[in-house]
Chains A and B, each alone.
Chain A
Amino acid sequence: MNKIVLIIKREYLTRVQKKSFLIMTILGPILMAALFIVPVILSQLSDEVKQVRILDETGWFLDRFENSDRYTFEHVFTDLETAKANISGNDIYALIYIPRPEVSVPSSAIIFSNSQVSIDLKSHIRNIMAKEVENQKLGAEIVKEIRKINPAFSEVKADSLEKTNLITDEILKNIKTNITLTSIQLGEAGSEAKSYTEVSMGVGMFAGILIYFFIFLFGAQVMRGVIEEKVSRIVEVIVSSVKPFQLMMGKIIGVALVGLTQFMLWIVLTLTIVTVFQTLMPNKITPAQATEVYQDNTSRIPSESNTAALQSTENEDTAMSRMIEALQSIDFTTMILSFLFYFIGGYLLYGAMFAAIGAAVDNETDTQQFMLPITVPLILAIVMAQFVINNPDGPVSFWFSMIPFTSPVIMMVRIPFGVPMWQVGLSMLILTASFVAAVWLAGRIYRTGILMYGKKVSWGEMWKWLFYKG
């Protein structure tokens, strides 16, 4: 036992002291920020035309929603309850309810839907509403400005005047409007649950991709470590002191700890950067807003003022508080615990296979033929993740979160949306059984492979190694 600790210590320290570890530690948080963007792109891949109904109590937006190749909009003029009741039967994707504001201009809407609403639709709605409200505000501001010069000015003639001269930066800043969208999912029993698709998608996809990267990065490190020991011919010296299985496990665990350290450093570093940013420059973009800026940029109605809008301080409080509210809807304890479990489980499963491959070959170029069957399920998982994220409760999602080769990625994508306990438990059980089996099998291939030099190994050969006596 003492020896395996020694091995873990060596594997850990030599890796943590490397330059590449430092570089990854710095690049990681930057990568994280980039990952916020991915779900937005993914949500735009769907090509189905969706029917959206609008119940507009204000009357401001009657002709503003134009049909596109993604959405057809239809106004309804009933009361809210009737409109809600009509959604389910009529294959309606969502109902947008714009309530009449008490005092000021409309600045919020509620989206009712059966399933979670895509980010794309939300940003579309937000854009159209913001544009309209801002236009109205701008008109009012201009009238105000003109009246300062000419109190007798009548609104009717406003159009004939050259407005642009009068629009100052200050006015532009004043008219900025932030539209608050709340989505409410109508449950089967008619119950309503507030849902925050964007955040769930972002968090889920982020966690899935992170697991994918971690398994790949650190699994490959295990493999490279094994090859290094073989190539440098130190392995026989070491296995005369420790059992091959101890050497393999020491390496796998050591590298896992490196991974976890990196993960912790990333979290701490990201939080530090964000905190420092917020304290030093409260006006600048926070990660939450960065996402929103991006969404607006990618929407199909490009508008200069929209991009500018999101950088204004005025809206930060509301944007942040909405974001925080949404984040709070996700159970982060569950998220972190399951992340740790699926990272360790998935890593052990793949790490063991990577170790076996490393033992079977003489140098890294020979790994190709064995790498393919291992990387395919992992890549498949990340490809499937974008379908899963749009339908986290479907049968595809279910099965891929049970198969141990894809479950670490897929389950992490699903968890922010809420997964039944029995599914999580079953998936964890299957994964645990699989990695125990994988580690055991890999150990048998490993102990034969590490002592084999100058031999091109085939799958058949590796199969035979499984049955060699100790």
Chain B
Amino acid sequence: MWAATFFYYTILSCPMSFFSARNITKNYAAHKALDNVSIEIPPQSIFGLLGPNGAGKTTLIRIINQIIAPDTGELFFQNNKLGAEHIYQIGYLPEERGLYKKMKVGEQALYLAQLKGVSKSDALKKLKYWFEKFDIKPWWNKKVEELSKGMQQKVQFIVTIIHEPKLLIFDEPFSGFDPINVNLLKDEILALRRNGSTIIFSTHNMASVEELCDNIALINNSKKILDGRVSDIRNEHKTNTFSIGYNDFKNDIRTVLPADFTLKSQHNRDELQFAEIQLPSHATANHLLKILMPHVSVHTLNEIIPTMNEIFINTVNQKLSTSKLNNYE
């Protein structure tokens, strides 16, 4: 009871949230795109919006951008109801993005900046700065179609942030970039957060989620199935599994392990043998060491923390199998 009251109190007042979407539902003629999805994004953080293709991420992002309206639910920007005036404070880099092919790069950047409410002289100044920073200054008077894909993406990134929005939404920002430019972009995104922006980051690249995101929400089949801090989620999904590196053991390690310890995998590398062992819930790493120490010399011991990739796949598959199960019943 107390917990529930506290829960509602935090949700309704929520002074910590920079942006929140509450109970968003969106239906299209044949299918439900979003089913009662809520997200809370803390200020000055990077929020990962994850999910398989067709889960409803793009619909949610479009709703946040006020491109489409939800059927039910409410959105708050810095605790104010989201409205037309917030358009200038949001920068959006869509997954399906492009530029006018026949238009000159500089002209186009200027146009898009002005659409975001930046005055012409202001936009010129800022664009100059960013074009120099991204090494695309010589392309100012070229037509977009003459640019390589990577350069077009740079232009696109610049026009997304040119109006210095408080909330940035990047949908697969790294597609089309080479590794060097991916790093450049990552640094820029981290710099933006440092300078006070809040960022929504949608991607399928789980490695970059671990690297960049503070919080995530996982959407599958139009429902939110997981959310929270990345570190918390990874810790929660730990399976009490350890990787141990050892040598000087002639026998199979299984012969010394108790029955409730499971050997997940084994391999050799550089004179050492490695074994992944899942412990029963009551056991700890110390128990494992105690059991093994009389037999082997231990060189390394690591707890295996699941990657976001594993969590993503497991969670989505679990839901898939339970929903299938439900269908059979």
A residues with a Cβ closer than 8 A to B are 3, 6-7, 10, 14, 228-229, 232-234, 236-242, 244, 447, 451, 453, 464, 468-470
Question: Are B87 and A464 closer than 8 Å at their CB atoms?
Answer: no
Are A236 and B99 in touch, CB under 8 angstroms?
no
B62 touches A451 (CB 8 A): yes
Q: Are A451 and B67 in contact (CB under 8 A)?
A: yes
B68: interface (CB < 8 Å) = yes
Q: How far is the CA of A191 from the CA of B54 in the complex (A)?
A: 77
Within 8 A of A (CB), among B67-126: 67-69, 71, 87, 90, 92-94, 96-103, 111-112, 114-116
Contact B102 A234 (CB under 8 A): no
Knowing A237-B94, A240-B87 touch, does A232 contact B100 (C-beta < 8 A)? yes
Determine the chain B residues whose CB is within 8 A of the CB of A242 once the complex forms: 115
CB-CB nearest in chain A for B59: A451
Q: Is B97 a contact of A234 with CB atoms below 8 Å?
A: yes
Q: Give the chain A neighbours of B65 by CB distance below 8 A.
A: 240
- Which residue on chain B has the smallest CB distance to residue A464? B29
Extra contacts besides A237-B97, A464-B29 (12): CB < 8 Å: A3-B115, A6-B114, A7-B115, A14-B102, A234-B99, A236-B67, A237-B112, A237-B159, A241-B115, A242-B115, A447-B68, A470-B68
Smallest CB separation, B199 vs chain A (Å)? 15
* Distance (whole angstroms) from the CB of A333 to the closest CB of chain B: 39
Contacts of B68 on A, CB cut-off 8 Å?
447, 451, 470
Interchain nearest-CB distance for A18 vs B (Å): 9
The yes or no answer to B249 lying at the interface (CB within 8 A) is: no
Q: Say whether chain B's binding surface is mostly helix, strand, loop, or mixed.
A: loop
Closest to B104 in A: A14
B71 interface neighbour in A14, A232, A244, A469, Cβ under 8 Å: A469
Interface size on B, as a range, is 20 to 34
Partner of A241, one of B69, B93, B96, B112: B112
Complex A-B: 13 CB contacts under 8 Å:
A3-B115, A228-B100, A229-B100, A233-B97, A234-B98, A236-B92, A237-B112, A237-B159, A240-B92, A241-B112, A453-B96, A468-B28, A469-B71
Fill in one digit per residue for B243-280: 1 if any A CB lies within 8 Å of its CB, else 0. Answer: 00000000000000000000000000000000000000
By a CB distance below 8 angstroms, the chain A residues around B112 are: 237-238, 241
Q: How many A-B contacts at CB < 8 Å in the complex?
A: 65
- Give every chain B residue within 8 A of A244 (Cβ-Cβ): 67
For B98, list chain A residues within 8 Å (CB): 232-234, 237
In whole angstroms, what is the CA distance A375 to B115 when docked? 34
- The answer for the CA separation of A64 and B112 in the assembled complex, in Å, is 75
**B100–A240 CB distance below 8 A:** no
Task: Return A450 CB to nearest CB of chain B, in Å.
Answer: 9
Chain B residues whose CB sits within 8 angstroms of the CB of A469 once the complex forms: 69, 71
Q: Are A470 and B69 in contact (CB under 8 A)?
A: yes
Q: Shortest CB–CB separation between residue A449 and chain B, in angstroms?
A: 13
Residues of A within 8 A of B92 (CB): 236-237, 240
Bound Cα distance from A101 to B48, whole angstroms: 98
Q: In the complex, what residues of B have CB within 8 A of residue A14's CB?
A: 100, 102-103
**Counting chain B CB atoms within 10 Å of each CB, which of A14, A240, A453 scores highest?**
A240
Say whether B96 contacts A232, CB under 8 Å: no
Pick the contact of B115 from A6, A232, A453, A470 — CB < 8 Å?
Answer: A6
Give the CA-CA distance A244 to B97 in the complex, in Å.
16
> Which of A228, A241, A244 has the most chain B CB atoms closer than 10 A to its own CB?
A241
Contact B101 A241 (CB under 8 A): no
Compute how far the CA of A3 lies from the CA of B111 in the bound complex, rounded to whole angstroms.
10
0/1 string, B201-218, CB within 8 A of A gives 1: 000000000000000000
Contact indicator B100/A234 (Cβ below 8 Å): yes
Interchain CB contact under 8 A, A232 and B101: yes
Decide: A240 and B101 in contact? CB cutoff 8 A.
no
A389 to chain B, nearest CB (A): 41
Least distance between A455 CB and chain B CB atoms (Å): 12
Residues of chain B with a CB closer than 8 A to A468's CB: 28-29
Min CB gap B271→A, angstroms:
54
A residues near B62, Cβ cutoff 8 Å: 451
* CB-defined contacts of A234 to chain B, threshold 8 Å: 97-100
Residues in chain A near residue B101, CB distance under 8 A:
228, 232
Residues from chain B with a CB closer than 8 A to the CB of A447 are 68
* CB contact list, B137-183 vs A, under 8 A: 156, 159
Which listed residue (B97, B102, B116) contacts A236, Cβ 8 A? B97
Q: Which residues of chain B are near A229, meaning CB under 8 Å? A: 100
Q: Quick check: B94 and A236 within 8 Å, CB to CB?
A: yes
Residue of A nearest to B98 (CB): A233
